[in-house]
Structures are given as C-alpha cells and as structure tokens.
Structure 1
Amino acid sequence: MNTAELIKLNCLLAKLTKSHQYTKTLKLFTQIQTSQHNLNLKPDQYTFSTTLTAAANLRDILTGAQLHAHVIRTGFKTYPHVSNTLLSLYAKTDNLVYVKRVFSEIMSPDVYSWTTFLSACTNLGEADYACQMLERIPERNEALSPVWNAVITGCVDNGYLDVALNVGKAYKVFQEAEENVCDEITYNAMIAGLVSLGRDEDAFVMFKNMLRVGLGPTERTFVSVMSSGPCHRGVIQVHSHAIKTGLNDFSSVGNAAMTMYSNCKDLQAVHMVFNTLEEKDRVSWNTIITSYAQVGLSKEAISAYMQMQHQGIEPDEFTIGSLLATLDSEMSIEMILAVVIKDGLISKTEVSNALISSLSKHNAIDEAYSIFTETNCKNSISWNSMICAFHLNGCSVHGLDLFSEMLVSGLPPDVFTLSIVLNICAGISDFRHGKEVHGYILKSHYFHETSLGNALIALYAKCGVLDWSLKVFNMMKFKDVVSWNSMISAYAQHGRGEEAVQCFESMQKSKGVKVQPDHTTFTVALTACSHAGLVNAGVEIFNSMVNEYGLEPGVDHFSCVVDLLGRAGYLDAVENVLKCGGFKVHSNVWWALFSSCASHGDLRLGRIVAGFLLEAEEDKASVYVVLANILADSGHWEEAEDVRKMMRSYGAVKQPGYSWIRS
C-alpha cells in the first residue's frame, strides 16, 4: 500500500475540513475510493474520521450512513476517534436512536464520547435519560468537567432547568469527593438559565458560589447577573467587581450595567456607564434612548438618537419603538415615520405596531389604521394595538368589527385581545357581543385565565346582569385582588351594599392563597357603604384600612367617608374631622360635603364649604348654582338671587342640560 500517498491525501482531507470546505472533502474521498485499486490506496481510520466530520457538518445523513457501512466493513469502528465522529454525525442529524446504538457499541467511551452522547440526549428531549446515564460514568475526576458542562448546558438551553438543578445536586455530591470540577462554563450556564426563569436571587447566589470556589467570572457571567430583574445592592456590587476585573470595558458588560441601572430608574448611573464605554454599539444607544424614554425625557431621547445617527449607527426596530414611546406630539411621530420609511424599517412588524400605538395615543386614528392595513405580516400585537386604538378613541363598534376580522383571518386571539374586547363590550353595555366572547373563552383554553374572569365580572355588572357576574366569580379557579374588587364594585353598582360588605369580609377570610385588600378594595367597599347608607360598616372598613392593613387613605377614601357621613346627616362630625384632620383637603372631599349640605339644607356649613371651593375650583358656576339652591331651599330668596347676579358678573355661565332623546 502507498502509505506516503495516503498520508498526503489525509492531510489534504483534514485541510479542506478545517477550512469548512466539506463538499470538496466528500468529493476527494469519492476519488480516493474510485482510484484505490490503481493507486493501491485503502482509506484508514483518519480518512474515515475526517470524511465523517465533513458529512456531519453538512448534515448529510445519506453519505454518513454509507460511510458508517464502510467503517463497519473495514473494522475501523473500534477506533475511538472514528466512533466519536459517528456519534457526532447522528447527533447533528437528530437521530437519537443511532446515537444510542453507536454509543452502546463503544467498548471504553472517553470524555468526548460521553460529552457528545449526553449532549445529544439533552438536546433531543431525553434529559432525564441523560441524567441517569451520567450516574453510570465509571471514573469521576476533574477531566470529566466537559461532560457535566454538556449535560447542564443542554438542560438549561432546552428548558430542562429543574433537571439541571438535579444535576447540580449531583455535582454537589461530586464536589465533596473531588473539588474544582465545576468550571466557568458550568456556572455561566446555570446562572443564565436561572435568570431566564426569573429566579434572580438564585442566580445571584450561584454567582457568589462561583467566587467562593475561586472561579473568575467571565464576560457572560456579568452580562447574565446584571441583566436579571430589579437591581439591589448585591447586583450593584457585581458591577463594581466587573470594573475591578477590567471586563466593564466590554460593550456587552457595559450594556448590561446600563440596563440594570435603567431598571432602578437611576438615570445618572446609566449616563455614567454610557459615557465610559469606549465602543458604543447599537445596543448601547438603544439602552440610553430607552432609559430617557422611561422617565419621559423626550428631548434627551431624540438628542441621543441624533448622536447615534451622527456616529453612523443605523437605528433598528428597538430604537424606533423606544423613541415612539416618549414622543409627545403627532408632528414628532410623523418625523420618525419619515425616517422609518427612508430606512426601510416600515416593513418590520414591530415598528408598524409601535407606530399604531403612538398615533392612537395622539388621536390620529385614521393614520394608525392606514399603517395597520398596509402591514403585510400582522401578528397578534398588530391586531391588539389597532383594536385597543379604536377603544381608546371612542370607536368601540369599529373595534368589535376588527375583532371579527381577526377571527376570520385565522389568527387566534390571545388573552390580551379578549380582555380588550370585553372592556369594549362593558364600556357600551353590549351584552350580546360580550356573551359571544364569553362563549369563545369557554371553548378555548383561556377559561381559567384570571384576567378574563375579572373582565367578565365587570362586563355583566355594567350590563345589569349581577347574577352572571356572581356565577363567573364563583367559577374562577384563582381569584386575585382585582377579582374581589370587581365583585365588590359590581354589588356597589347595583345598590347591594350589604352583599358588598359581606364580599369584602369573605375576601379577608378567603382560603388558599391569601389576598390582601389594596387601596382600590377600600374605595369600592366604602362607595358601596356610602350608597347604601351603611355608616357603621363604612367606619369599620375605613378604620381597618388604617389600623389593620397600614394603608394611607387617599382622596377617594376621604371623599367616600365624607359622602357616607354626609348622606346620613352627620355633618357636624364631618366638619370636626376636616378641622382636626391635619391634612390638606382635596376639592373632591369639599364637593362631597357640599352635596350633603345641599341635601340636608345646612346653610351655615354650605356657606363655609362654598368659600373653600370658590378659591380652589375653576368651575365657579357650579359652586354658585349649588349655593344659590341651598339659599333658596332655606327661604333666603333675595340672597339666592344676589348669588346668581354675582355669578353672571364674574362671567360664569351655567351649562344647560340636554338629553340623548330627541322629541
């Protein structure tokens, strides 16, 4: 056999494979096969290994199977590098059956064999099996670190983090016997996986463990930890550690730090990190623009955008989305629209969706609908944005019509779509369409969505069908604070104050997950008491808000209490509370008391409240009208007429009433 010629050809095959010329590698192997009789050449284990690598990278399963047959026939499958390449071939072509078969035929699997095999199992959906096989590794030492990394990374990347945590426990046991087996790759995979699941505290603990065992964090480590949820002192210390190690100079680390400080609303820190970045990429500029947008600094956001363009960095859909979120005029949006059209970004669905939302917020509903109709690839966000736009601009019927079009288009509505449509139906008391949407929800897999149950409770309450609201409430599997607030409010709207109070009490005694009342809970409960004249219950609820739950009452709560006591005729008590309260009384509270003065004919207190309202209110006509009515009801006709003359002298005009019903 011509050994020198074969070595030469093997070197050429290796060179072609290393330079990613896989097709040429396969062609050369075919030439070797066809000319082996003339040149007295026989492929050896290196020939097969290199050619199998080319077939694996091309995902060419047909050629790979033929090579596998050659390997079996020539007896080279016993060579570790040949069998390992066969494992790689079937792993890359997603053929787990053959991966298992080839692995089972390897007499003494090495680290590469175990790594390829277990990685294939986790990537192809058999993470549990991979963890079981991991226990069968005969010798465990630090050389097996790539095997552990493969399993853990595969589990994390493929959504098997719970399984990965089991591996982590096994790793812990393994550490007791042999330290320093975990490396940076292992920790980075686990930290990134925990962050992706929102388990930020666990990710931070994993980071501290990484430092404890003497491993140095890498660029990926800092990016993962600082990209986690809301910042806290520990994560800020992580940024300090990145600065000490010099990794803060990497754009990706700096960008992550900016995102972290942006989540903290610490614009000064965001600006500081941005200015220290030597190389600012598109993500850097997008982050600073988004940070300005989050706090409503539209001028600064536009200025940063102009600087970004001056640096020669083209905007993308995220840049445009952040800019549109902060613009405060239709003219500014039209300027961005011109840029979007010029740069060809209008074809991106994310950009058109952002434009629809921004235009609708500035009452440019026709322009928003025009962009919607011209969007070729509409997703659920496109439909939701346009339906919501109609809803916000008072075009409820158009919103329902568009929802019907969405159903016809074949794109299924999501929870947000259904919530918007139910809110539209509730807003116009459209019982028929609301009931149809309810039927759709029952047929779909959204039946147990709490937000939809809450919307249905509000819908039926607005439509006057309180029994249906109660049925929906009782059928809900999970009730949050909004659920209870909606039901209490439904009772209040229908004048069922006692049932509202009972519902409030049931909320406090609810089984399962404890639901704490919030400010809205107390507002609707106090409103129910006020409308039903339940003075004692209202006072108890107000006291529990302050004493039991430690919530600070707001304007709405004081207005409800004043209205409650005022309606019941306890005007002197209300006056004493307002005098001794030690707080600034909002005009809404004065109006509640003023209405009670009118109802009970309390002229003395009415004069006092009118004085406060005339100082605070721009709508002085309403104050004069109510005061004049109080005076007239008390028999002070001349003084009532003087008040009306005073009203006219100040140019205040009482707006005439009107009715929807035409004669």
Structure 2
Amino acid sequence: MRRIPCSHKSVAAITKTLSKHPRLIELNCQLASLSRSCYYKDVLHLFDQIHSSPSHLPHSIKPDQYTLSTTIAACAHLRDVVSGGELHAYAIRAGLKSHPHVANTLLSFYAKAQDSTSLRKVFEEIDNPDVYSWTTMLSACLKMGQVGYARELFDEMPRRDVAVWNAMITGCMENGCEEIGIGLFREMHCLGVRHDKYSFGSILSACTVELMDFGKQVHSMVIKTGFLSKASVINALITMSFNCKDASSAFLVFEGADALVRDQITFNVMIDGLGSLERVEEALMMWRKMLEACLRPTELTFISLMGSCSNEKIGRQVHAQVIKSGFKGCTSVGNAIITMYSNCGNLREGYMVFACLEEKDLVSWNTMISSYAIGKSGRSAIWTYQEMHRTGIKPDEFTFGSLLVSTESIETVEMIQALVFRYGLISKIEVSNALISAYSKHGEIEQAYQIFHTSQKNLISWNTIISGLLLNGLPIHGLEQFSNLLISELKPNPYSISIILSICANISSLRIGKQVHGYILRHQFFETSLGNALITMYAKCGILDWSLRVFDKMVEKDIVSWNALISAYAQHGEGMKAVHSFKAMQNEGKVKPDCATFTAILSACSHSGLVDEGAQIFNSMVNDYGYIPEVDQMSCMVDLLARAGFLDEAESIINSQEIEAQSNLWWALFSACAAHGNLKLGRIVARFLLEQEKNNPSVYVLLSNIYASVGQWKEAAHVRELMKSIGVKKKRGSSWIRS
C-alpha cells in the first residue's frame, strides 16, 4: 500500500481540528454524502445553514477548506456562476483560498464555467501548484480551444506523466491542431515515454485522409508493441479507416480482432462508420452480429442506426427494436428517431415521437425545430419555439440557426435577430452566419453585408456572403469578396470554389473561370462537385469541348455530372448528342436518372426538334422509372410538340394534365403559335396569359406579331394601341458587347 507523506505539524493540525470542531467534521461528511448522491442544491442549502450559524456563541461553527471545496464543487456541477463567485469571495475574506483543496476546486469550477480569465487568475495566484492544479488547468484550456496557452503550460510543467501527454495530444487533435498533436506524439516517443492504449487511441481516431500515411505508421507501431489486444486501440483503428472512407480496411481490422476483444463500442463504431458511407444493409447486418455475440445494444447503437436510415420502412423496424430493448424513454434515442422520420419526409410521425418523450432536452426541441425548417414549415418551427419558450428551456445558437433557415418573411428575420440580442448570442459565429444567409435570401443584402462586416468570420461566413451576393444579382461584388478571402488567413474549400464557378457561369467570364480551374489543379481538389461546376461554367461560356474534356477526365461521376453534360449539349443545340449521353448513362448503370435529368434531356429534344426521341424518353420516365411528370417536364413536352407544329396535341397535354397548368406551359404554346402563325389558338392562349400577367408587355408584342404574320395589320396595330393605353412599355434590349 502506498504511504502518504505527512509531517508531525500537519498531524497536529488535523488532531486539533478534530478535537475543536467535531460537529464541523460531521457536517462536512454530510456535505460530501449529498454531493456523491448528486444532491447539489441540498449542498448549497446546508452550507448556508453552516455559514449563517451565530458567530458570537463559544462553540460557533465556521466553514473550513473542506466545507468550502465541497460546496464550490456543487456549484460547478450546477453551473451556478453567481453562487460560485460568492464562495470565491468568501474564500478570500476567510483566508481559505491558499488551501490546495479550495484553489483546485476553484480551478475546476471556472473550467466548467468556461471562464478563462478567472481560471488563469486563480491558477497564477497558487504559490505551488500540484499535479491536480496543472492537469486541471491544461485540460480546461484545451477544452476552451486555447491550444497555444495549453502548450505553454505543458512546457512549464515540472512533471509530465503519460496521462498528461495523452491529454495534450487529444486536446490538440480535437481542436484541429493535428500538426502539434502529431509532433507531441513523436516527441513523446523520442523522449522514451511509453505510449499506452490511450495514446494510440487518441492519435489514430483523429487520423483522416490527409494523415493516412502517418496513421499507417502508427498502426505498424501498434502491432509491434502488442496493443492489438486492446479494444480501445482496435476501435480507434476502425474509426481511422472510416475517416479515410476505407470500409475494406475497417472490415480487415474488425475481422482480425479476437472475438473476446470486440466490445459494444467496436460494433457501434462499425455500425456508425457503415452508416456514414450509406451502406445501410451492412450496418444492419453488423447490428445482427452484435446481437449474435450476446452484446446488448446501447444508446449509440440505435442513434447510429437511425442516423443511417433513409428508408422509412427500415426505420420503423429499428424503432420497434428500440421499444423492445427498453430505450423508448431515452431522450437521445428519441431525438435520433425524430431526425429519421423527418429525413424520410414524415414530419407527422416525427412530431408524435417528440410529443411522447417524457423528458425533452434542448436537443429535442432543436431537432423538432430543425425538422420543420428542413421541411419548409416555417410557421410550425416558430410555434415549436414558442412552446419551448413556455417550458423555460433557454435557446442556443442552433435553435436560432434553424429558425432563420425557415423564415418566410423579412419581419420574422428581424424578430429573430432581436431575440438573438436578447439572449446574448450575437457573438456566436453560427448565428451571424445564419443571419447573413436569411437576410440574403430575403433580398436585404446590405443588412447581410453589415452583419458580415461586423462579425467574427469563419470560412462559412465568407461562403455565405459570396453566395448571397450572387443570389442578389451582384456577382462582381462576389468576386471581390473572394479576392479578400484569398488574402485572409482562411483558405477556400471546394464549396467556395463552386460558388465562384457559378459566378463565372453567371457572367460568362471565361478568363476568370480558367483562372479558377488552374487554382483547382494547383491545389489538387478532386471533388466531383467541382468537376460538375466546371462542366456548367465552360458550357455557359460557350466552350462545349472543354465541358466534355472535364467530364471525360472525372474519376467519379454522379447524377449531377451527367445532368450537367446533358444540359451543356442542350444549351448548344446538340440534342442528339444529349440523347446519346442519356443512353450512355443508362447503359453504364451506376446512377439512376432523377427529375432534373429528364428536364434536361427533354429540353434538349425540344430545342433540336427530336419529337420521337422526346416522346420515348417521356414515356420511359413515367413507365420505367415511375416518375409523375412535374411542371418542368410538362413544359418541355408542350414546347417540343408546339415547336414541331403539333399545337393541338400540345394544348391537349395542358388541358389533360393532373397538375394545375402554370403560365410557363401556356408561354411555351404561345411562342409556338407565333412561330407557326396559328391565330386561333394564339388568341385563346393570349386571353389566358393576360388574365395572369396583365402588365407583361411580351404578351401584347407576341400577339401583335401573330396578327401581323397572317396579314391582319389592323388588329396588330390595335393591340399595340391597347398596350399604350394601358401604359405597358416594352423594355429596351441591352448588350454586354460594347463598341
């Protein structure tokens, strides 16, 4: 048994305390017992009784360092900053702050309160910090993201054991300082400090694609040192494999581990990793293996399974197993079930699960609000927030972020901004980004830019304002902000580049588009989304050959890639090539056409007069793929038939379709009437359009042209006069080409 060094002086002090205040010892034991039982409010109440006992009596009781430290610890658990501050002041007045028990507990209190200023002050006032003081301070700084200061503390520490090294490495990796974390791991190895399972676990689980080579080196070290028998190391290796999108390696590690080594976490990591790669069936099979291994599923098991379910039928089956396994009352699992139903588009079922939750935490309310926001049910999101407010739960930055996504009017945005100020969350970068996005969406780009200019910025902030400027018809200003981003400390990500390519396509700037393409190649961006954006950009700039070259060089092609190529051919009048691309996509069989695919290919057929091909593709969309034609597809079919002179057939499609005929369908037919000089049908369509768009000069101009094309000059002139009497003016054309 380890002996605790203790001087004769300290023994005498303890004996004196015991003999003088036996009642205080008893009360301190009561405080400790209440604290262990998590009755923290009762701890504060008992301390108040001790502190308020009459001081003039001969045997009055005064709180000592143990009384104070236990009570401060209770404040830390309750996050009671006010009471904790009062106890700190009392410690100073009573001369108890110098006691290690009190000083260290104050450190823990301010660490949990995330008050870095007070934390540093308390630490600096400790004359001789012990191991607990150093480790508490180090861990707190790392949790608050103060890696630089934590590194200074680490270098000053008089004694650093393996636990301290592990804490420092883990903190660096979690804060995105991978280089520092890896450097410490190597330094630890060079100094002869032996790695343990926590060292390997923390470094491996943080390895991503960029650190794959280093991860493999650590994997070799794990094998050499015999740590493959530790479950935590196996779990970290599996996590690393999934971080690198390498399911094969994950399976190799899993299958290579001894059956006795695999624990619940091992299966949970496999299920979560497979779910993240959308390999739902394999995730469900892994769950079955977990049950066969006689391991009981945990909360995380069901949370991971629910997170991977995009099929409501499978989700319902997992939901049933949640109830059978006794997790129905678990709030975190309930939150995951709500998310699953909302992702499947069943908000009603999601709300029923939410309503049945016995205990709703902040995440529950945020999940429901977010579900309504994603489902574009802004009013329901606001109503849910009001219910949350009535229950007394305080919103956070994610609450307001979801509310701002779902706003239906500028007045709602302004109301939410007022609430943000009221709750002191305007400094949260997530909130300022959501406000920038909301104001941009509602056309208030000046207000959006003001928030951007005065707020703390991350890469999402830059992407949001650049996207907002493009949305509000200010592409040149978007390019200027991108230039500012390039000279800042942040680096553009693939999404940033895709926005800029959209701007280049919008203004047909081939010169800037090529520069961006060069930037992509220099920085080795291989994302499919950027290839798709380049195809569109070159097509919009009139360079179809380059669109095809980009498409051919892409390693991975998704449905957006094929849609971009088909649309490029359609824009350039290459209808037959678009049809060939569509058939090539079908023959390849890797991706399934979506609604956007059919809109693009039907548009290509329309512009090239490919009636037979268009009709065949339209029938395939309905019969082979089971899509119900939407307005865009119907508009393309009407345009296709009308351009080819089949005006009666085009009209019959408009009149017979199940969905309500919108003005763009009639416009397609009206344009064809003008092209083919069909006055009878043109007058009928014009009457309908004038009811919908009375002040649109194009209706009058096109109708006048139809009259003129059949030689009815008097009627054509009458339409022009009618246009003048109503006060409708034709807008002048403009050209980008300057003389």
TM-score when normalising by structure 2: 0.65
Q: Give the C-alpha shift of residue 455 in structure 1.
A: 2.1
Q: Give the C-alpha shift of residue 419 in structure 1.
A: 1.1
1:105-144 correspondence runs (5 A): 125=215, 126-128=218-220, 130=222
Q: Give the C-alpha shift of residue 311 in structure 1.
A: 4.0
Q: Which residue of 2 aligns with 1:428?
A: 507
Q: Which residue of 1 aligns with 2:378?
A: 298
- The alignment status of 1:483 with 2:561, answered yes or no, reads yes
1:194-233 correspondence runs (5 A): 194-230=274-310, 232-233=312-313
- The alignment status of 1:152 with 2:215, answered yes or no, reads no
1:160-559 correspondence runs (5 A): 163-171=249-257, 183-230=263-310, 232-376=312-456, 378-446=457-525, 448-508=526-586, 514-546=590-622, 551-559=627-635
* Matched letter for residue 389 of structure 1: G
Distance in structure 2 (CA, Å) of the matches to 1:581 and 1:306: 42
Q: Give the C-alpha shift of residue 347 in structure 1.
A: 1.8
Q: Is the 8 A contact 2:638 2:651 kept in 1?
A: no
Q: Is the 8 A contact 1:121 1:127 kept in 2?
A: no
Does the residue aligned with 1:363 lie in a helix, a strand or coil?
Answer: coil
Distance 1:622 1:311, change over 3 A: same
* Matched letter for residue 415 of structure 1: P
Distance in structure 2 (CA, Å) of the matches to 1:439 and 1:184: 48
* Matched letter for residue 254 of structure 1: G
Does the residue aligned with 2:596 lie in a helix, a strand or coil?
Answer: helix
Q: Give the C-alpha shift of residue 289 in structure 1.
A: 1.9
Q: Which of 1 and 2 has higher RCO (CA within 8 Å, sep 6+)?
A: 1
Q: Is the 8 A contact 1:55 1:61 kept in 2?
A: no
Write the deviation string for residues 174-227 of structure 1: whole angstroms up to 9, x where unpaired: 55xxxx775544434443444455544333333333334443333333333334
1:555-634 correspondence runs (5 A): 555-571=631-647, 574=650, 586-610=662-686, 613=689, 623=699, 626-634=702-710
Does the residue aligned with 2:733 lie in a helix, a strand or coil?
Answer: coil
* Matched letter for residue 452 of structure 1: L
Write the deviation string for residues 480-535 of structure 1: whole angstroms up to 9, x where unpaired: 3333333333333334445444444554555xx63444443343334334334444
Distance 1:602 1:190, change over 3 A: closer
Distance 1:354 1:587, change over 3 A: closer
Identical aligned residues as a percent: 47
Distance in structure 2 (CA, Å) of the matches to 1:541 and 1:242: 44
Q: Give the C-alpha shift of residue 588 in structure 1.
A: 3.3
Q: Which moved more, 1:362-371 or 1:379-388?
A: 362-371
Distance 1:585 1:257, change over 3 A: closer
Distance in structure 2 (CA, Å) of the matches to 1:557 and 1:492: 14
Unaligned residue ranges in structure 1 (runs of 5+): 13-18, 26-50, 66-85, 104-112, 137-146
Q: Which residue of 1 aligns with 2:13?
A: none
Distance in structure 1 (CA, Å) of the matches to 2:395 and 2:328: 24
Unaligned residue ranges in structure 2 (runs of 5+): 11-69, 74-98, 102-129, 139-153, 169-184, 206-213
Distance 1:288 1:165, change over 3 A: same
Q: Is the 8 A contact 2:639 2:650 kept in 1?
A: no
Q: Give the C-alpha shift of residue 555 in structure 1.
A: 3.5
Distance 1:96 1:545, change over 3 A: same
| Larger-Rg structure | 1
Write the deviation string for residues 324-374 of structure 1: whole angstroms up to 9, x where unpaired: 111222222222223323333222211111111011111111111111111
Distance 1:544 1:442, change over 3 A: same
Does the residue aligned with 1:247 lie in a helix, a strand or coil?
Answer: coil
Q: Is the 8 A contact 1:491 1:528 kept in 2?
A: yes
Distance 1:87 1:343, change over 3 A: closer
Q: Is the 8 A contact 2:238 2:253 kept in 1?
A: no
* Matched letter for residue 541 of structure 2: C
Cα RMSD after superposing both structures: 4.5
- Equivalenced residues, count: 574
Distance in structure 2 (CA, Å) of the matches to 1:152 and 1:259: 30
Q: Give the C-alpha shift of residue 444 in structure 1.
A: 1.5
Does the residue aligned with 2:355 lie in a helix, a strand or coil?
Answer: helix
* Matched letter for residue 466 of structure 2: I
Distance in structure 1 (CA, Å) of the matches to 2:613 and 2:133: 80
Distance in structure 1 (CA, Å) of the matches to 2:711 and 2:249: 83
